Amino acid sequence: MSDLSIEEGGFLLINKPREWTSFDVVKKLRNICRIKKIGHAGTLDPLATGLLIVCYGKYTKKIEGVQSQKKEYIGTFKLGQTTPSFDLETEVDGNYPVEHITPELIELTLAKFRGDIEQVPPQHSAVKVNGKRAYEHARKGEVVKLKVRQAYISKFDVNTDKLPELSFLIECSKGTYIRSIARDLGKALNSGAYMSSLIRTKIGDFHLEDAVNMVDIVTQEDFFKFANQFSE
């Protein structure tokens, strides 16, 4: 791999492991490939897995454009319970009735979550508040005020065969918090909900099935072998 090729850069599609932060992936790859100019295009929560696009060299200038593309996720919501983080990072803190929740009620309620929506990010999120990440405040027991954000849900399909667990497929705009959808859907159903699993399957025209696992990237040669498949 020449210095010129490193400078020109490219993309690397990663299947982010569970319990890794997105920055953990970048830090590990930076150490392996020995490139300083490297970053990711769109954060995934530590407990989520799936497609993380890493850009290096001149392609770091494309990060904003990649981040702005439509995302697709699959996962599960657990109805009838809540957690402070809206996922499994924290313990269940509330139990709610689910006997009244039917597939018909869910489908009627989902209409409120398609198209343009407003949502508040989770307290346990990477949003910056007073120079610190919101999750840093949350882990200290501090509640911070987070601004309402706009999002667009182009597709929201569910499978109700295993209620009170709800499988879903969501296509959405940049900046959409799937955990916040779990919280808001639970409330809209006069119950509670948290996100029990999440996999990002697509970003624009990039697909998870084309991504590489971190365990397969051990050397600089491994990095460029996989990255070169996606460079222009």
Digit-coded pLDDT (tens) for 149-183: 999 999 999 999 999 999 999 999 998 999 999 99
Average pLDDT, the chain: 90
Q: Please give the Cα distance from 24 to 217 (Å, whole number).
A: 14
Is 45 a catalytic site residue? yes
- Is the confidence at residue 1, as pLDDT, over 60? no
Average pLDDT over residues 186-199: 98
Q: What is the mean pLDDT of residues 75-90?
A: 96
Domains of the chain, with CATH numbers?
3-68+205-230 (3.30.2350.10), 71-203 (3.30.2350.10)
pLDDT at 142 over 70: no
pLDDT band at 13 (very low <50, low <70, confident <90, very high): very high
Enter the DSSP assignment of 144.
-
Tell me whether the omega of the peptide bond preceding residue 122 falls within 30 degrees of 0, making it cis: no
Asked whether the predicted pLDDT for residue 6 surpasses 70, the reply is no
Residue-level pLDDT at 138: 63
**Residue 199 φ/ψ, nearest 5 degrees:** -130, 125
Q: What confidence tier does 9 reach under pLDDT thresholds 50, 70, 90? A: confident
Kindly tell me if the per-residue pLDDT of 76 is higher than 70: yes
* pLDDT given at position 4: 44
Distance from first CA to last CA of the chain, Å, rounded? 15
Cβ-based neighbour number of residue 210 at 10 Å? 12
Q: What is the pLDDT of residue 2?
A: 46
DSSP states of the chain: --HHHHHH-EEEEEEEPTT--HHHHHHHHHHHHT-SSEEESS---TT-EEEEEEEEGGGGGGHHHHHTS-EEEEEEEEETEE-TTSSTTS---EE---TT--HHHHHHHHGGGSEEEEEPPPSSS--EETTEEHHHHHTTT-------EEEEEEEEEEE-TTTTEEEEEEEE-TT--HHHHHHHHHHHTTS-EEEEEEEEEEETTEEGGG-EEGGG--SHHHHHHHHGGG--
Which residue in 3, 24, 45, 205 is the catalytic one?
A: 45
Averaged pLDDT for residues 42-50: 93
DSSP H/E element including 170: strand 165-172
Q: When comparing pLDDT for 229 and 100, which is higher?
A: 100
Question: pTM of the predicted model, to two decimals?
Answer: 0.90
